[in-house]
Amino acid sequence: MTGTGTESNPFENALKQLRLACDAMGIDNDIYNYLKHPTRTVQVAIPIKMDDGHLEVFEGFRVLHSAARGPGKGGMRYSLAVNMDEVKALAMWMTWKTACVGIPYGGAKGGVRVDPRKLSVAELERLTRRFTANIINVIGPETDIPAPDMNTGPREMGWMMDTYSMQKGHVVHGVVTGKPVEIGGSLGRTQATGHGVAYIANEYAKRQGWNPAECTMVIQGFGNVGQYAALTARDFGYKILAVSDISGGYYKPEGLDVDEIFAYISDPAHRTLEGYENAQKITNEELLALECDILAPCALENQITDANAEKLRCKAMVEGANGPTTPIADEILQKRGIDVVPDILANAGGVTCSYFEWIQDRMALFWDLEQVNKELDKIMLRAFNGVYELVVEKKISYRMAAYFVAVKRVAKAIEMRGIYP
């Protein structure tokens, strides 16, 4: 589902959000001009010998939006939809996300335009290693730290860490996060983003006086984020009415068996929800329009647009994906009285746990899962409370309040550091 005109361009949407926030806050236009430009953009060719011996050349991207508050931080995604504007938007949103939760990072993002399902494991490894080698001078534990994103995971991060370490001549654990635990990864990282989405949704529900046992939730997207959002929300007591993935939506008015559906998609024989029979199959459009208390879009950007915002029947929306709601759709939902808890707050659990991994790598001292989750919940709660206080005090939307917090922190860092030279 996409919008119309420039509304489908994620970078244009990110710039509109920044402009709205700067105007509302009275931010100096010089700061806006500074922030609308990424600090660094890199595009590389990635030539790979395929298993049958022929050569394929893929395009790779890495963008550092801001380093005003610390090294860049952001995922690496493998998708045919990857392009420079998407990566620039995602990097900008990462700047706001890290600032919103108060961790000392800037925003970055990267990716390769490829359909990873069509590559063998050996081809994926060669692709990842060559991409890492091609951007080795712009990433590092003090400058720009990649992490998993769409269609990447601990395996790819392990390959990236190893390639970087081989070039440097010594092991550099902190060059990436989201690694396997055996080579410097953190416990809790895999589930952190989805856990954070459900945690923030529950905090929102508390402020509304809702009882989780009486609340329903619909989750669009059942990748890593959607899966763990569903599991955590279920543990809080929410009834999960529907989920979806690339194969379609799956709806059960009595509530899905989350453990069963998680086991189904985790089975290597399935990998998607195609063929799952213990629910009614519906379209993505039908799923988004289901009546529910909380809708959690956890798939891709540009899912809630001017074309479908009027059809939503949720009481509130908590964004698990990056940029799932276009600015025009945001206005429509606001007029309809539907609160939207934005991505830069709601899905910040992943980057927060990545921060914990980076700390542990630098200390060479690792935490148990209980400590990871305790620290994660503490930071997410502090961030939510700060945003909620602004919502109440200034009578503004959750998105605007989150941007107030984030942009103010980045602008203050720029002001205090000054402009070199």
CB atoms inside a 10 Å sphere around CB 351 = 24
E-strand stretches of 94-252: 106-113, 144-148, 216-220, 239-245, 248-251
Q: Is 351 helix (H, G, I), strand (E, B) or coil?
A: helix
Out of 97, 109, 239, 315, pick the active-site residue. 109
Q: What is the CA radius of gyration of the chain?
A: 20
DSSP assignment string, 181-195: GGGT--TTHHHHHHH
Is the separation of the CB atoms in 356 and 367 below 8 Å? yes
- Give yes or no for a contact between 351 and 105, defined as CB atoms under 8 angstroms apart: yes
d(CA 130, CA 126): 6
CA 16/CA 319 separation, integer angstroms: 18
Dihedral (CA of 34, 38, 40, 43) sign: negative
What backbone phi and psi angles, to 5 degrees, belong to 220?
-90, 120
- The conformational region for residue 113 under phi > 0 = left, psi -120 to 50 = alpha, else beta, is beta
Q: CA 113 to CA 123: how far, in whole Å?
A: 14
Annotated active-site residue 109? The verdict is yes
Judge contact between 261 and 250, C-beta under 8 A: yes
Contact 261, 234 (CB under 8 A): no
Residues belonging to the active site:
109
